[in-house]
Structure 1
Amino acid sequence: MNTIIYKELSAYFSSLAAYVTIAIFLVVLGLFLWVFPQSSILEYGYASLDSLFGTIPYLFMFLIPAISMRSFSEEKKEGTFELLATKPLTDWQILLGKFFAILLVVLIALLPTLVYYTSVYQLGNPVGNIDTGAVIGSYVGCVLLASVFTAIGVFSSSITKNQIVAFAIAVFLCFFFFNGFNSLSQLLSLQYISFFISNLGVDEHYQSVGRGVLDTRDLVYFISVSAIFLVITRTILRSRKW
């Protein structure tokens, strides 16, 4: 599996696209955090990173599919998966290698945002007047959210040879799992089970973790959704009807 992780990271960072994608993510996030008046920290009047963690999920919906769309689609298009399958690697090792490689790239993209925390920490009055516990919880939520979106992205890439189609499917599924269930819960005809439906969505659990309290139910949810998509992807790989 380590071989696959190294191979994927090398392939990704050997192209300019990797750096451009991460740079766009950080620039757009910085604009929402400091420039746009509707979400700028400077307009809040108090030290908070709520706008940062409120924006990240929507940027993840595009960043992660952009990173993951090539994971299996490229292998299928170029016919190299059969060669990969001949190596002493199981389907799970190949799948998890690609999954963790993509997740590592997302974490690398997320690391520079710690500068924003340091900046807000220093801007507080007094210095350090920020809820560090909530910030830590929000970063944990970002990692868990990234794992779900990565599993969705890998799944989307496994069902088509076209990277653009894989990207579009992943964006749709990420958006639906993040916002779709909340929208469904607000339908008049479904109000009597709205709480249950909203809890099927990612946003409900992401907000819960972001409050700084890591509930076991939230952790189980993120792991379960990621595992479901990985199991489905492994089933697709096992069939190998490419």
Structure 2
Amino acid sequence: MLAVFNKEIGSFFNSLIAYIVMAVFLIAIGLIVWVFPESNVLDYGYADLGSFFSLAPYVLIFLIPAITMRSLAEESRTGTLELLLTKPLRNADLVIGKFLANWALVLLTLLPTVIYYFSIYQLGNPEGNIDSASVFGSYIGLLLFSGVVVSMGIWSSSLNDNQIVAFILGVFLAFIWYIGFGALSSLLGTGIFAQLFSWASLDAQYQALGKGVVDSRNVVYLFSMMALFIFLTLWRVETLRK
């Protein structure tokens, strides 16, 4: 697993992928937090990172599949995947190694945004007038949300050798789980199915963690989602090995 992880991380930083992803995310989020009218902190007049945490998932829904689309699709297209599957390498090591490498790249992309917290902490009146518990919970939610979208993207990449198709499917899955389930719950109105879809939406889980109280039920659900799509990817790789 470690060998796959190192190889994947190395491929990111030996090409422009990692740098482009980080630059696009940080520029987009920087404009939202500090420049764009009605969303920037300076115009809002309140020491808060709400605009960042509200809009970051939408950026990641498109950015993460752009990272993961090549994970298995590119290796399948070039024949590298078939070569890997002939080696004494466990399927779990291959899939989990790629998952962790892609997730690590997303985490490295999010890390510089911590500067926003310290900047707003200093700008508060009085200094430190910011809900730190909410910020901490929101970061936990954003990291776990990213992990789920990465697992969806890896699975999408395993289904075919076309990176564009993998990207579209990854975006579609993330969008459905983040927005679609909540919209479906609203259409259903009341009842057990409405409650189920509402609770299962990634948006609901993310918002719950953003309240500043890290509930184990939300954490377990999000890790379970990662496990589900990793299992589906393992199953897909197993069918390719046969």
Scaled to the shorter chain, the TM-score interval is over 0.9
Residue 225 (structure 2) aligns with: 225
Which residue identity does 1:191 align to in structure 2? T
- Which stretch shifts more, 145-154 or 194-203? 194-203
Residue 115 (structure 2) aligns with: 115
Residue 159 (structure 1) aligns with: 159
Q: Distance in 2 between matches of 1:95 and 1:60?
A: 21
Residue 33 (structure 2) aligns with: 33
Residue 106 (structure 2) aligns with: 106
Q: Deviation of residue 102 (structure 1)?
A: 0.2
Give the 5 Å matches for 1:30-179.
30-179=30-179
Q: Deviations over 1:11-35 (max 9, x none)?
A: 1111123211210110000111111
Residue 191 (structure 2) aligns with: 192
Which residue identity does 1:169 align to in structure 2? L
Q: Deviation of residue 45 (structure 1)?
A: 1.5
Does structure 1 conserve the Cα–Cα contact (< 8 Å) formed by 2:179 and 2:203?
Answer: yes
Q: Distance in 2 between matches of 1:84 and 1:23?
A: 32
Residue 2 (structure 1) aligns with: 2
Q: Deviations over 1:187-225 (max 9, x none)?
A: 1x4432322220111110100011111111101110111
Does structure 1 conserve the Cα–Cα contact (< 8 Å) formed by 2:85 and 2:241?
Answer: no
Q: Deviation of residue 86 (structure 1)?
A: 2.7
Residue 235 (structure 1) aligns with: 235
Q: Deviation of residue 168 (structure 1)?
A: 0.6
Which residue identity does 1:209 align to in structure 2? L
Which residue identity does 2:113 align to in structure 1? T
Q: Distance in 2 between matches of 1:241 and 1:167?
A: 23
The secondary structure found in structure 1 opposite 2:92 is helix
Q: Deviation of residue 87 (structure 1)?
A: 2.7
Q: Which runs of 4+ in 1 moved over 3 A?
A: none
Which residue identity does 1:41 align to in structure 2? V
The secondary structure found in structure 1 opposite 2:87 is coil
Return the TM-score normalized by structure 1: 0.96
Q: Distance in 2 between matches of 1:158 and 1:64?
A: 15
Which residue identity does 2:45 align to in structure 1? G
Paired residues, number? 241
Q: Give the fraction of aligned pairs with identical amino acids, expressed as a percent.
A: 47
Q: Deviation of residue 38 (structure 1)?
A: 2.5
Q: Deviation of residue 105 (structure 1)?
A: 0.2
Segments of structure 1 that go 5 or more residues without pairing to the other structure are none
Q: Distance in 2 between matches of 1:17 and 1:206?
A: 27
Does structure 1 conserve the Cα–Cα contact (< 8 Å) formed by 2:65 and 2:171?
Answer: yes
Q: Distance in 1 between matches of 2:161 and 2:85?
A: 17
Segments of structure 2 that go 5 or more residues without pairing to the other structure are none
